[in-house]
Amino acid sequence: MARASVVVPFAIALGFALAATTVMLVQWLGQVTAYWTMAAGLAAVLALTFIGVITSTYPARRAALLPPVEALRYEGH
């Protein structure tokens, strides 16, 4: 879970930057009128945060329920 608290914000920032760059590039090319609203940005950040928390919590929860001997047995494989 600690790793996810570092990776998820980084991935959100990277995705946000790529999306903003893509919107500016599309506008510069003049083919489509694209716009970015604060509400759309906030919705994207919230959705990505939710997905990141869910996808990191499930494996962590499964691992936490394993007996330590079982977890160590398969660590090297």
Number of domains in the chain: 1
CA distance 24 to 13: 17
Q: Summarize pLDDT for 1-44 with one digit per residue, the tens.
A: 566 667 777 887 887 788 788 878 877 887 777 676 788 878 87
Q: Summarize pLDDT for 49-73 with one digit per residue, the tens.
A: 788 788 888 888 888 888 888 777 7
- Assign 76 a pLDDT band (cuts: 50, 70, 90): low
Q: Which domain range does residue 23 map to?
A: 2-73
Q: Tokens 């600690």 sit at which residue?
A: 2
